[in-house]
A and B are shown apart, each in its own frame.
Chain A
Amino acid sequence: MSFLRSIFMRRETGILVMIVLFCIAVGFVKPQFLTGQSLRIILLLTPLIMIGAMAQMLVLVARHVDLSIGSILGFSAMVVGLMYRDFPEIHWLVGFPVAILTGAALGLGNGLLVTVFRLPSIIVTLGTLSLYRGMTFIISDARQINRSNIPTELKVMSRTSPIFDIPWIILIAFAVALMTYVVARHTRLGRQIYALGSNPVAAPLRGIDVTKVTLIVFALSGALSGLAGILYASRWGFVNPSNTGAGFEFQVIAAVVIGGVSINGGVGTVLGTVLGVLLLGCVAAALPLLGIAGSTQNAIYGAVILIALIIDRSVRQRGVADNSKDIA
């Protein structure tokens, strides 16, 4: 009985119920929503957000926030795009380490500003959001990387793979989620991130190298955003200095907050985050089917974040004593 009860009380169960109810409701109006084809559409909408959400989850758990991920995504995608355009002789797979390392370097920049100068991450990353976006314009000379410059092999990754024909980018996204799960639950680093976020004062007293953990978290966030950058080029076949990755941070934060990751640090699961991403994907896939204009999507994301915050609040009030609303 208590086992059933503990499952029922889990945050993840609530999101799963919401997803099921939502799909049934949409399927009732438009039966074609409940087909394999639309599952494919939903899954194709989510890989970038999934990867970004894994990174942001770790950042939020450490009681920080990273608003610059969209700009890091754009910058890394642009670096890779320029490489493909100007050095076509380089093997296309080299793009992956290049994108990931570029992203990691930018993320490390955030981490250094946060740790060395002891600045609030929200302001630092608001600054680098603008800074990295500007750098993207500078390196690209404000010009787009066109479809013809992106290698075909990379674009095919968004369409298929040898494994049941599931596109590579979906497999990569779930692989990232799995790895994040292992890191978060079964490594020393993962537990240190949770400890740091639960109580930043107690963490150093327990021998946690706060600077190191913070740097790693921000570098990871950058690296995963870089990975999302090259996958953006694969998925959409172009890189644009102003559009690529713009607003990505908001979609990701929406998904993560819906997934039950607490903005006060220390709380959050990979499963919840994955479900949060899928819920957003279902909403995004259902809107055009229901004949609702794409322009409503942002308002819905915003409303969903606020509702998730209120639910989170009431859950916490019923749960353990609530500690502090300070420090984002």
Chain B
Amino acid sequence: MTDTKTPTREMAPARPAWHVILVRPETMTLVLLIAGVIGASILSPFFLDVNYILRSFTLTAEMSIVALVLTMVVISGEIDLSPAANMALSACTFALMQDVGVPLPLAVLIGLGAGLAMGALNAFMSIRMQLPSIIVTIGTLILYRGLAQIIAGDRSIRLPDSFIGINAIMVFGVPLPVVIFVIVALVLGLVLGTTVVGRKIYQIGTNQAAAHHAGIDANRIKIGLFLLLGVVSAAAGIMAASRLGSVRYDLVAGGELQMVLMAMLGGTYIFGGRGTILGTFLAAWLLVIVSTGMTVANLMPAIQLTVLGILLIVAIIATNFIYARTQR
């Protein structure tokens, strides 16, 4: 290193194949998932019941679906903390519409439209106004939740019986929300992993300036992602309404933490450019295993809050560590 010759840039040796396959955040998620299953089944013999786990998954399926889209937003280098509030406001809009006599399909469309509008506001503030999305979406989180509080007040809005019970519909013995989650994961995984748009999203998140020079219209893709997240959040909110049978303004209050947690736990890099749908998919299951495991082990719900917080911090430490090792 001390010689004064012009330094020749040598290529770093390629990482061995096992290293590439094994040393990645998704592996950590998978290991945690397996450990969680083993741990929970030791804690309680009632745990290893596939139907029970599937039914438990319906409780968080809506948020898991949103987390899949959120993963793409984070990979593109932005973040959105408002989807949980979006779910609440869309669901309240939908419920109020059908309450005043709007036909159900139209009410659903209006709910989805509300979600799209919320996504558009996030996109406008973050992309057009060039403000940091993290602060913008803290603002819109409060705004959307507050608007839901205004339009719904303190009451819970009942839904017609015909609309209730999406979680009771079974497709080959699997609850419909779980099926939807798996399908959305497959579609988004294919989009992100195999299409040009997917590669562009990674490129934008890795280096926006370079992406710009490569002729990628970063803003257009990011706006598209915010809009998609808005609509999907609204759909998830309406699904949650169908599962719960009534809607209140505090629907999935604090859900933003769980969604961010799913993405982080799945190895999505908070500064963008890295992450996979598979990781978030596994993380969603991990969370269900952890929370049902704690429930069957009769642990206080408050402890679950603590565990969620610890998991988020551990996940991001591990992810940062793994990326620091594998990245030059």
Contact = CB atoms under 8 A, between A and B. Distances in A.
Indicate whether A and B interact.
Answer: yes
B23 interface: no
Interface string A256-300: 010000011000000000000000000000000000010111111
Contacts of A122: 134
Interface of B: 125, 129-132, 134-136, 138-147, 149-150, 153-154, 254, 257, 260, 264, 270-271, 300, 302-310, 312-313, 316-317, 320
A239 B196 CA distance: 54
B146 A298 contact: yes
Nearest to B208: A326
B139 A302 contact: yes
Interface in A108-162: 113, 117-120, 122-124, 126-138, 142
A123 B139 contact: no
Given A119-B317, A127-B312, 20 more contacts: A118-B320, A119-B313, A120-B270, A126-B260, A127-B309, A130-B305, A130-B306, A131-B309, A263-B132, A295-B149, A295-B154, A298-B146, A299-B146, A302-B145, A305-B139, A309-B125, A310-B129, A313-B130, A313-B131, A328-B132
Contact of B305 (A113, A117, A137, A303): A137
A131 B135 contact: no
A130 B146 contact: no
B313 A133 contact: no
B146 A300 contact: yes
A218 interface: no
Nearest to A312: B131
A123 B266 CA distance: 15
Contact of A117 (B130, B307, B320): B320
Nearest to B272: A326
Contacts of A306: 125, 136, 139-140, 143
A123 B143 contact: no
27 contacts: A118-B320, A119-B317, A122-B134, A123-B316, A129-B257, A130-B309, A131-B308, A131-B310, A133-B309, A134-B309, A135-B306, A138-B300, A138-B306, A263-B135, A295-B146, A295-B153, A298-B146, A298-B149, A299-B142, A299-B143, A299-B146, A302-B145, A305-B138, A306-B136, A313-B130, A325-B130, A325-B132
B302 A138 contact: yes
A120 B134 CA distance: 12
A300 B136 CA distance: 15
Contact of B313 (A113, A302, A326): A113
